[in-house]
A and B are shown apart, each in its own frame.
Chain A
Amino acid sequence: MTTYVLRRLVLMVPVAFLVTIGVFMLIHLTPGDPALILLGEDRSPQAIAAIHQQLGLDKPLYVQYVIWLGHIVHGDLGRSITTHQPVTTAISERLPATLELGAVALIWSLLVAIPLGTIAAVRRGSLADHLATGLAVGGVSIPNFFIGIVLIFFLSVTLRLFPFGGYVPFNQDPFENLRHVILPAIALGTAGAAINMRFTRSSMIEVLNQDYIRTARAKGAPWRRVVFIHALKNALIPVVTIVGLQIGGIIEGAVVTETVFTWPGVGRLAVESIFNRDYTVVQGIVLLAAFSYLVANLLVDLVYGWLDPRISFA
């Protein structure tokens, strides 16, 4: 196991290195000069040169990369071009809201996926199964921003049950915090619910066909106990993989959902920064998104082996 973990970590190094090059190059390919954004009206050649020197933009690209990488390794993602706030501070201020939204979305997706997936598997071929499978294809086909808009229209505008958007911190008013998070979480978690449901269904079908389930039935265990205790526990192992990846990809979904619901998280910060041409912030968020995805991939592999002893780390 230790060898496997070490090998995975070593394999991650070149990929992580390439990711940093990718993020660095992406922003340096951008047309337009950051100095012009910083300077506003005063665009004299001297002022531009001074900014270039200050930001290190007058150095060769590979030197800029090495300096940038050195800063990244020390946890310094630079400063926002527009607000001059350190990028790490800007991200860490917004991260709790995104994590909260992601966590509630995940809970929603599992609350829908596991019962529906189980029912669809147990009653395979029935109307419930066809309905659940249809919902699963539908769930991944409807854009999450559209789900958000439909929810706002029906539940906020028409029925006035929930606010249109915005955010209230949990420590300020837990009830209002919950009211504000429910709609964006449903919008964000629905595609995940559809994917998790399909995984639960197919994994459950496989498990229900195994010998130990037949044995449990033959020993007289009630069907419900067999399904929910004996089968579900093992059927959920592959679901863990996909849920792990969804946790790693929280920022991805949050970009759009946070924009629709004016949720002050990292996703909305990314969109705002793109429009403000604040590339240091965009760079920081893309890097964070890629690394959380990479780490989630690694953890999923490790947890999967731990949960399923049949997986060999040899």
Chain B
Amino acid sequence: MSTAPALVATQASIRETRIHLLELGRTHPRVILAGSLVLLLFLIALLAPFISPHDPIAVNADNAYLPPLSPSHLLGTDELGRDLFSRVLWGARVSLPVAFVAVAVGLVAGGVIGLISGYFGGVIDLLLMRLVDALLAFPALILAIAIVAALGPDLRNAMIAIGIVAIPVYARLVRALVLQLKQVEFIAATRSLGATPLRLIVRHMIPNLLNPIIVQVSLSAGFAILAEATLSFLGLGAQVPTPDWGQMINSGATFLANDPWLAIVPGAAISVTVFSFNLLGDSLRDALDPRLRS
């Protein structure tokens, strides 16, 4: 069977995926919209200490259960009189770093596994991929819960658990991309010129893997925030008094009958954040994947 057409198609797709950011914004406004939302969330996380009107963990029993739009408490207060608006702003400082670390763990570990597996092939590939298959055999959230249950419930362990869950996704993705790249002529030419595997991978392969990885990073960040909120909601992530969105929904749910905003506001914060990352990943995929570009 001839592989020539496949080679041509691969080379073309790789060339086409190099798109400038400005051009991307012009042709795909959804990317800019989603990117702005994500940027805004990062700004909120960064500036929370300066823009929060109150200390998010300062208890003031006299101010408990104030409804939204109360004087000096925009979103009201919780059962301990803590300002809900400040807690939601500070919640971004918990969720976003968790997502960042978890995605970094998944990307680095999964990326290295995928690169080695795809580049060297053979027995190494066979063994590494069985390990990845075993990780993929666990439903993602069950694996994260099991890891946190084993390591002990806290935010750091939740980050590690979510990162481990992301490893097989990146390993599979990077391996598939490397296998595709290995067929491309310029890689074969570079290798025949005597480039070392390290140089070949770092200088020539990794830059060509970036686009699909950027898409995956955005989607995994959405998953990581959702998973962290779920773990914290179950009491397996952030612990009191950390202003964490999942944990806030958990405690707010107790007061649903009279003070529904205590659960609804942090729930909306999680949903908007995850939506922004998913939208970014989705629109980037539409923009960067040549097969989806119409």
A145-B131 contact, Cβ under 8 Å, with A15-B137, A150-B264: no
Residues of chain B contacted by A243 (CB below 8 angstroms): none
Residues of chain B contacted by A23 (CB below 8 angstroms): 146
Number of A-B contacts (CB under 8 A): 128
**What are 15 pairs between A and B in contact, CB < 8 Å?**
A14-B130, A23-B146, A30-B149, A143-B226, A143-B229, A145-B249, A249-B139, A252-B140, A256-B141, A270-B142, A271-B234, A274-B145, A274-B236, A279-B149, A286-B142
Tell me the complex Cα distance, A279–B150, Å.
9
Contact A29 B151 (CB under 8 A): yes
Chain A residues numbered 1-56 whose CB sits less than 8 Å from any CB in chain B: 14-16, 18-19, 22-23, 26-27, 29-31
Is residue B29 contacting chain A, with contact meaning CB distance below 8 A?
A: no
Residues of chain A contacted by B246 (CB below 8 angstroms): 143
Contact A15 B267 (CB under 8 A): no
Q: Which of A81-89, A211-219, A289-297 contacts B (4 or more CB under 8 A)?
A: A289-297
Tally of A interface residues using CB under 8 Å: 48
Chain A positions near chain B (C-beta within 8 angstroms): 14-16, 18-19, 22-23, 26-27, 29-31, 137-138, 140-143, 145-146, 149-150, 152-153, 157, 248-249, 251-253, 255-256, 259-260, 270-271, 274-275, 279, 282, 285-286, 289-291, 293-294, 297
CB distance from B37 to the nearest CB of A (A): 12
Tell me the complex Cα distance, A286–B161, Å.
15
Contact A282 B149 (CB under 8 A): yes
CB distance from B279 to the nearest CB of A (A): 6
Contact A293 B137 (CB under 8 A): yes
Residues of chain B contacted by A150 (CB below 8 angstroms): 264, 267
Residues of chain B contacted by A19 (CB below 8 angstroms): 134, 137-138
Q: Which of B18-26, B42-50, B252-260 contacts A (4 or more CB under 8 A)?
A: B252-260
Contact B234 A259 (CB under 8 A): yes
Contact B145 A290 (CB under 8 A): no
Contact A251 B257 (CB under 8 A): no
Residues of chain B contacted by A143 (CB below 8 angstroms): 226, 229-230, 233, 246, 267, 270-271, 274
Contact A26 B253 (CB under 8 A): no
Tell me the complex Cα distance, A251–B146, Å.
13
